[in-house]
A and B are shown apart, each in its own frame.
Chain A
Amino acid sequence: MEGLMVGLTSMTWQMFVMMIIGGILIFLAVKKNYEPTLLLPIGFGAILANIPYTSVLDQVEGGHVVEGALSIFFRVGIMTEIFPLLIFVAIGAMIDFSPLFRNPKLLLFGAAAQFGIFFTMILATLLGFDIKEAASIGVIGSADGPTSIYVATRFAPNLLGPISVAAYSYMALVPIIQPPIIKLLTTKEERRMRMDGGGNDRKISRATLVLFPILVTILTGLFAPTAVALIGFLMFGNLIRECGVLNKLSLAAQNELASLVTLLLGITIASTMTADRFLQVSTLFIIGLGLIAFMFDTAGGVLFAKLLNFFLKKKVNPMIGAAGISAFPMSSRVIHTMGLKEDPTNYLLMHAVSANVSGQIGSVLAGGLILALVH
């Protein structure tokens, strides 16, 4: 009988708090539809990981380590970086770069809107985080879950849980985070600004679409070899999509691969969310810094667009700059909706999508550069 009560008697209030946090994540996923594919497995995993002597995590029994399923997944899928890389293949297969080819100058917003990453990294160092932890926290601002997980796995595996939760939560909150920042930094006239078509209906050749992922991988690899895994897997997925002869594989990557790996990724990350690791002051800092990263990404994009307008003949609506973050397609929808609110006949969607796609390249590249520059 005593053996049956061991779980109950070993329960601590910290474990109980973690279960409530898991419950909140499940609530946000189910009721609010906030990134449900990730937040639901993370929420449930948090509950699993905080049951005393849970068999999903490694436990020591009679001097021997009994391996738990989530611990095995963690070693095999996260520590080897395989899960995030497989997600990149899936994301690559989902991205259509053709809007970007029709308006390539919007590529620059994919760089400008990564400003929040670096700003947050600097801020994190002032809060006492070491350079690797600060860089991992900054990468929450890539607005790209797999990149955040990839960098955190390398640099700060101890912070993987809070970083992942912050990254995915704020991605879901883009429609709430971005509008006030954009409104603060733009005038009504700027938000009403129209943009020309930019050749939105121009067709792009198959050769261009096939060559682009290959050349981007080679060029990135030559200058920043540490970024090759990130950008290479993303571009491999895109090549599967664009080559035109692997439609079944492309669909499998977009659907089955994405779904399965996302599920495993979410529940495995939750294995790091044990009470002793998660209930720390640093978690609160990370949640706060993640929000700052998203805010300054948005500000960086908008301010860069305003700066660019001093030099451009055909002006860019500054709101488009905010779509340079990677949260796709959420950010472009936000910008489009804001544009329509100011002027119901001003359609900014295609321009915002172009900037948003460039943000996906920019975020992965930023992650790779952080890996190359931080020692």
Chain B
Amino acid sequence: MFSDEIISVYSQALDISFKGMTALFLFMFIFFFLIIAIDKLLPHKEEPKK
């Protein structure tokens, strides 16, 4: 039904999609821990009223 060329491009797209989604989740996990870390290290402090 599909030519060899289309199948080859399709397999490439599958591979890219798998890597892309995995990398996206990895980045988001990193950002998640980054937020937790900097929020813990640098919590909001009320400035003293002058």
Contact = CB atoms under 8 A, between A and B. Distances in A.
Interface of A: 100-101, 104-105, 107-108, 110-112, 114-115, 117-119, 121-122, 124-126, 128, 130-131, 134-135, 202-205, 207-208, 211-212, 215-216, 219-220, 223-224, 358, 361-362, 365-366, 369-370, 373-374
Nearest to B11: A125
B21 A207 contact: no
Nearest to A119: B17
Interface of B: 2, 6, 9-10, 12-14, 16-17, 19-21, 23-25, 27-32, 34-36, 38-39, 42-45
Contact of A110 (B6, B16, B28, B43): B28
Contact of B12 (A115, A131, A212, A223): A131
A103 to B, nearest CB: 10
B30 A134 contact: no
Given A107-B32, A361-B31, 15 more contacts: A100-B35, A104-B31, A111-B21, A112-B25, A115-B21, A118-B16, A204-B44, A207-B38, A208-B42, A362-B24, A365-B27, A369-B19, A369-B20, A369-B23, A370-B20
B24 A111 contact: yes
Contacts of A131: 9, 12-13, 16
A125 B24 contact: no
Interface SS of A by simple majority: helix
A122 B13 contact: yes
B23 A216 contact: no
Contacts of A362: 24, 28
A204 B41 CA distance: 12
Contact of A365 (B9, B10, B14, B24): B24
